[in-house]
Amino acid sequence: MIELIPAIDIIDGKCVRLSQGDYESKKVYNEDPVEVALELEAHGIRRLHVVDLDGAASHHIVNYRTLHQIAARTSLIIDFGGGVKSIEDLGIAFDNGAEMVTGGSIAVNNAPLFESWIERFGPEKIILGADVKEKKIAVNGWKEATAVPLMPFLDHYIGKGIRQVICTDIGCDGMLQGPSLPLYREILTAHPDLLLVASGGVSGMKDIFDLHEAGVPAVIFGKALYEGRISLKEIEHFIVHEG
């Protein structure tokens, strides 16, 4: 069964969502991310994707206290990203309750450092973030496009031991117009054993079923949940009946 991973994106300690990574599009959905996490856990969710958007913009972790509060008050498995640029950031994330950390920009801008994290902490702790715009990697909170093509980028890090990749199609993210199914099929054809986490574009449960039927192992979604297009009851029903 595809694993459902709701996202909590944090700015100023609040639960927000952006559209296509645009900070000017910020919409606050809840003043208390811990409240959101507790409600998700109560409806059967076991894993949470927490993104420090302040950290992504500042190039170092900012909202670690919020991460700590979520980890302390729930038993959710938390994967954390946003602003993790150094071994010190990595330590802060793990010390405050993250079980996995996603590296995206660092994997492009400082490959030797990111590879050292994989070697030191293992692929069960380090996730590769592949944020994509027109099949090219984007970095620094999606504000900066690169010339790095997606597939060789994945090939390289899978060769270094990466087992889990969160792939976000920036053109889809926050737009509620459906996920990038052809892209995910292409990745899984090349790497059928990869724990691929689809991210961006989910508009309702039909999209989740479509990803499930395509063989995608896991999906991150946020805006569809916060805009009421996916209900907590639907999530609970899916987990109970499809699991």
Indicate which residues carry an active-site annotation: 9, 131
| Nearest C-alpha neighbor of 9 from the set 53, 47, 74, 45 | 53
For 48, half-sphere exposure in the C-beta direction (CA atoms, 13 angstrom radius) is 28
Q: Could you tell me the maximum CA-CA distance found in the chain, to the nearest angstrom?
A: 44
Number of neighbouring beta carbons within 10 Å of residue 175: 15
C-alpha separations of 208 from 171, 189, 233 in Å: 18, 19, 15
Q: Is 20 left (phi over 0), alpha (psi -120 to 50) or beta?
A: left
With H, G, I as helix, E, B as strand and everything else as coil, classify residue 104: coil
